[in-house]
Structure 1
Amino acid sequence: MRRVAKIAAACLASAALAVSATACGSTSTQKESGSDKASGGKGGLKVGIAFDVGGRGDHSFNDSAARGGERAKSEFGGQIRELTAKDTDTEADREQRLTDMAAAGYNPVIGVGYAYASAMTKAAKEYPKTTFGIVDSVVDAKNVNSIVFTEEQGSYLAGVAAALKTKKDHVGFIGGVDVPLIKKFEAGYLQGVKDTNPKIKIERQYLSHGSDTSGFSSPDKGKEAAQGMLDKGADVIYSAAGSSGNGATEAVHGVKGAWAIGVDSDQYNIPGLAQYKSSILTSVVKNVDIGVFDLIKSVKDGKPLTGTNTYSLAKNGVSLATSGGFIKDIQGKLDEAKKKIVDGDIKVKTTP
């Protein structure tokens, strides 16, 4: 997945990761994607958002970012141009996407996902008067706002919940791609489980590796991985795998007494997952929408946010959803764990 006062890829899908067609022109990338979308009226701000793989409808990382843009459009008016990444994107595709939007007057231009880092470094240099924002990575440039989160802290709480809810002392973790960002989710979850009950067995699996980002946009892979864990005896499975996690949730729903833990968005309340919500224990919510909104508002106010802005558990940058009431019976222990993290009594690891 994914995470203070100072509020953190392409070709992925999360809680969380992103890119795709170009904002202007008619490149082959744009034609293949078919995902160039503009909305809003004329005048006011022109906001460009380059989504991760999966784009809108992933019920997770990208949808959270989209909510930030929608809120800004509702409050401030203006236009939003949305583009979505493909698994086959190259660095050139990502850079062109960002620079085309900047050249067309979109400001800010936001890359949703760590994979935009290299492309944004170049785009920000080429368009120094445009404010750029990147989610889940840090770009060292004067005109870039790096929006990062403490995903490991929210995932720790998910681990505590899993350990308290498992009936078989056997849980699982599914990661989309084995990159440092997703390893933060894994690390926090494992630590939360083990700190609560060191005897619990933990299954772990990544759906793709290296430059292959299909693990963020393959519900079939998520379903297969979850089914394998369920067959081995796991009864609580946490997925940090973008839209692939939807497949995992479907598999869990098919097993009586098993629980799924969602990521990035409160998946219990996602209409597209309504048929499975009775099996969604909780979700590690990563408030990407807040980071996106804060950046857009800062540009509107004429005081653009730049630098590295970290959204932590202490500032509700990450949290554990309570929808459905399934963790009500353990809320006291979760609150206790949260307080220890915020107070610094628990140091959550960022690597497994």
Structure 2
Amino acid sequence: MSLLKSLLAGGATPALTVALAVAATATGALAEPALIFDLGGKFDKSFNEAAFAGAQRWVEETGGTYKELEMQSEAQREQALRRLAETGANPIVTTGFAFADVLNQVAPDYPDTRFVIIDTVVEQPNVQSVVYSEPEGSYLAGILAGMSSKSGTAGFIGGMDIPLIHKFQCGYAQGFMAARPDGKIVTNFTGTTPAAWNDPVKGAELARAQISQGADVIYAAAGGTGIGVLQAAADANVLSVGVDSNQNHLHPGKVLTSVLKRVDNSVYEAFKAGTAVEPGVKVMDLKSDGVGLAMDDNNKPLITPEMMAAVEDATAKIVAGETKVHDYMTDNACPAG
């Protein structure tokens, strides 16, 4: 267990935790990597948990140790980055676009430290920015949703109403409409603040509202909020689609698939590279196995050979450049509604 983790477990306040970590590790190893989880918690069964899985894979393979910190508030971001840099942690991996502004301020002050930010771009000479082709993975889920839906109506529930989450929605809508041209997408977002990532009660309420409108396959791209969406869908005997991590096991036979965003691979690769992490933008897409769908025994009964063939065909065409999945963030618009 890392020092930061043990101090958090011991009940120290966020500010004191980081300060104590600096003092206690000042004479220790100076090249331990570090991972800062975003709001919503390490075990959100989604985005943060995928990052944790990548770090754990690195530990299992190398026997190494790393520092980790779970965010408790927005105000902690800058302090956490600076204190970890002062301990000699290198590289420092941050999960989530919300770190962008503070990383732009902090990175220049620690030119010998490598930083990795997941989900957005920060243009600094010592920062690697990892972005994903979420529309591609979501498009494949949309195809499955279109082929599975009996009502012709699919739902999408996003977390925070921001362009990044519109990328998921737009890719899903394009895939759904490709498989079901006469279909309809119902869309809701949980909120406009970071609290939107951790409100499963609101997620369940939105899911029930969409079900009342006829949605029988609902995709949740909402972090911890999505747990409520998947639960409400299972309770109503309709299908759901998970996100980021493989969530098929949460409701076997009820989760159609999960759109994998291989945050685990990104964290693992950053830790493995260590101080040799290359700055610049790294794009994770279908071709690089950065996104994809989760297929396992939990959803196997839901996937027909025809559905699998359709996904494989779409994957091949996207990778080959024959099918272009529109990225919402290129023009803040979606051609599929």
In structure 2, distance between residues paired with 1:167 and 1:31: 54
Match for 1:231: what amino acid? S
Is 2:30–2:90's contact at 8 Å kept on the other side of the alignment?
Answer: no
Kindly provide the CA deviation profile for residues 196-255 of structure 1, in whole angstroms up to 9, marking residues without a partner as x: 21211211000001xx11111111111110011111111000000001000000001112
Aligned residue among 201, 209, 213 for 2:194? 213
Matched, 1:60 2:46: yes
Q: Do structure 1's residue 333 and structure 2's residue 310 form an aligned pair?
A: yes
Deviations 1:110-144 (A, max 9, x none): 11000001111122111111110000011111111
Partner in structure 2 of residue 305 of structure 1 = 278
Q: What's the TM-score once normalised by structure 1's chain length?
A: 0.83
What's 1:291 paired with?
A: 266
Choose from 100, 103, 119 the match for 1:136. 119
SS of residue paired to 2:33: strand
Give the conservation status (yes or no) of the 8 Å contact 1:45–1:77. no
| Map of 2:230 onto structure 1 | 249
**Matched residue, 1:97:** 80
Contact kept in structure 2, 1:44 and 1:78, CA below 8 Å? no
What's the counterpart of residue 3 of structure 1? Answer: none
1:224-243 superposed matches below 5 A: 224-243=205-224
Match among 242, 245, 265 for residue 265 of structure 1: 245
Which residue, 258, 272, 292 being the options, matches 1:319? 292
- For the residue of structure 2 that corresponds to 1:142, the secondary structure is coil
Cα deviation for residue 317 of structure 1 reads 0.6
- More contact order relative to length (CA 8 Å, sep ≥ 6): 1
- Contiguous gaps of at least 5 residues in structure 2: 1-6, 329-333
User: Which one-letter code corresponds to 2:258 in the other structure?
Assistant: S
Cα displacement string for residues 250-295 of structure 1 (whole angstroms, at most 9, x for unaligned residues): 0011122x101000011124xxx2xx22211100001101111111
Cα offset for 1:32? Answer: 10
The answer on 1:202 being equivalent to 2:178 is: no
Deviation at 1:62, TM superposition (A): 0.4
Larger radius of gyration: 2
Distance 2:126 2:206 in 1: 41
Q: Provide TM-score, normalisation by structure 2.
A: 0.87
Residue aligning to 1:15: none
Could you tell me whether the CA contact under 8 Å between 1:43 and 1:78 is conserved in 2? no
SS at match of 1:243: helix
Once the two structures are superposed, what CA deviation does each residue of 1:138-164 show, in whole Å capped at 9, x if it has no partner? 111111111111011000011111000
Structure 1 residue aligned with 2:146: 163
- 1:8 corresponds to: none
**What amino acid is aligned across from residue 249 of structure 1 in structure 2?**
L
- Distance change in 2, residues 1:71/1:167 (3 Å): same
Counterpart Cα distance in 2 of 1:60 and 1:191: 23
Separation in 2, partners of 1:44, 1:30: 21
> Which range moved further: 65-74 or 164-173?
65-74
- The corresponding residue for 1:350 is 327
% identity of equivalent residues: 37
Counterpart of 2:43 in structure 1: which amino acid? G
* Cα distance between partner residues in 2 of 1:77 and 1:141: 31
| Mapping 1:144-183, distance limit 5 Å | 144-183=127-166
Query: Deviation of residue 304 (structure 1)?
Result: 2.0
SS in 1 for 2:276: coil
State the alpha-carbon separation in 2 of the partners of residues 206 and 294 from structure 1: 32
Question: C-alpha displacement at 1:29, in angstroms?
Answer: 4.1
- The amino acid across from 2:195 in the alignment is S
Deviation at 1:30, TM superposition (A): 4.0
Cα RMSD between the aligned structures?
2.2
Indicate conservation of the 8 Å contact 2:161/2:191, yes or no. Answer: yes
Instruction: Give aligned pairs, total.
Output: 310
CA distance in 2 between counterparts of 1:117 and 1:69 reads 21
Deviation at 1:79, TM superposition (A): 2.3
User: CA offset at residue 305 of structure 1?
Assistant: 2.1
- Larger relative helix fraction: 2
Inter-CA distance 57–28: structure 2 relative to 1 (3 Å threshold): closer
Deviations 1:295-314 (A, max 9, x none): 11111xx5322211111101
Matches of 1:322 and 1:249, distance apart in 2:
17
**Deviation string, structure 1 residues 36-57 (Cα, Å, up to 9, x no partner):** 9x9xxx7584121111111211
What is the alpha-carbon distance in structure 2 between the residues aligned to residue 322 and residue 168 of structure 1?
Answer: 24
> Which runs of no fewer than 5 residues in structure 1 stay unpaired?
1-21
